[in-house]
Amino acid sequence: MIDKNIPKATLHEHLTATITPVRALKIAQRNKISVPDGLISPPDEDNPRGSFNYDLSDINNFFWAYDTICNLVINPIDYYEVLHDFLTYSANEGALIAEFQVSPLYYGVKDKHNIIDSPIDEEMYKDIFAAITSAIDDAQNQTGIVSSIVAVSLRSWGNRGVMKVLDFIEKHPNPLYRGFGFVENESFGNFADYEEGIYRALKEGYRFAPHAGEQCGPQSVWDALKYNPERIGHGIRSIEDPMLVKELIKRGITLEVCLSSNHALLPLYKDSWSSHPIRKLYDAGVKISLACDDAGMFGTSIGREYEIAKSILNFSDDDLLTFTKNAINASFIPENVKDNILKKAKL
């Protein structure tokens, strides 16, 4: 049972992938897109928000399902609904903060498979971003949940991609853009390949929160550390290098740990929950926070991630509160807002 009274916070969500099956069905119908047979089941007693059905034993099948489902989301109203659903649902489970990773260029191009080389439709971007902002504002007014955004580039876009993302958000500034990061398989590029872009992002005041130590081992986290990240997306494979664990503790870096995602996607941790390194990292003194990664795709929620930590991995309520405190302290929301939230939640 999810304990709604435990305050929660999530720092690692990919906006479009928070979509629930029931919302995906409604959007597909409205956008007149046919969904492959069997991919989405409507709600029933066991799954009140419906379910996505795909074979997780094949990573390519996951990527196919991910693309198919996320590509249903096209219009500003679609984005509004997907995000508003996630924020209000999370707030109802006790979440105080939710931070999102978005690829700003993604919202301005029609060809989602060739974003970096496509011309950008600035009006389309503005309309979609306005819808995202409205969802954040409405959810905050209705529930109190506070959000901010980590702008991301894809690793395979190289330094050109980072520069293009930074140019774009410079042209379309918004105070919600507070962090900078990278997505995509870690083997698709090294941080050194985009060093110029990373230094520019840091100089422009964006706070660095890249994915690392998920598909690739400790070296990917060491590579990230060169650029002073405040948080690491996943970072769990740091456990394979005791020196790295010490370094994370010394620097006070918070890991954004996504249990359901790791369990579903990483062969190392598929066999049993106890193989996941969260317990060892936490006991060693690494700052841990919990998140969903792709809440809709994995049929999870921030409440469920906390519940997995408690009932399957035996973390106490005090440990869960520590996760929340770590997340709030490491979030990129303004300091005064952060202080108020910590005080109100008595953390």
| Site residues for Zn ion per CB under 5 A | 293
Residues across the chain: 347
Q: With respect to Zn ion, which residue has the nearer C-beta, 99 or 293?
A: 293
Q: What's the closest the beta carbon of residue 110 comes to Zn ion, in angstroms? A: 24
Is the Cβ of residue 25 or residue 209 nearer to Zn ion in the bound state? 209
- The least CB distance from residue 150 to Zn ion, in Å, is 10
**β-strand partners of 151:** 102, 180
Report the C-alpha gap between 282 and 308 in whole angstroms. 15
Give whichever of 293 and 305 is closer to Zn ion, judged by the CB atom: 293
Choose between 59 and 337: whose C-beta lies nearer to Zn ion: 59
Contacts of 226 (CB under 8 A, 6+ apart): 191, 192
For Zn ion, the closer of residues 93 and 293 by Cβ is 293
Alpha helix (H) residue ranges in 144-235: 158-171, 195-203, 218-225
Token readout for 271 is 């066999």
Dig out the tokens for 323 from the structure: 């996760």
Residue 147: phi, psi to the nearest 5? Answer: -130, 160
- To Zn ion, the closest distance from the beta carbon of 268 in angstroms equals 17
Tell me the sheet residues that pair with 287: 254
Residues 6+ apart with CB under 8 A from 123: none
Could you say which DSSP state residue 81 is in?
H
Q: Is 315 helix (H, G, I), strand (E, B) or coil?
A: coil
- Shortest Cβ 261–Zn ion spacing (Å): 7
CB of 299 to Zn ion, least distance (A): 16
Residue among 28 and 98 whose Cβ is closer to Zn ion: 98
Sheet strands side by side (includes 287-290)? 211-212, 231-234, 254-257, 287-290
Q: Shortest distance, CB of residue 44 to Zn ion, whole angstroms?
A: 29
**Residue 45 φ then ψ, to 5°:** -60, -40
Q: Which residue is nearest to Zn ion (CB)?
A: 293
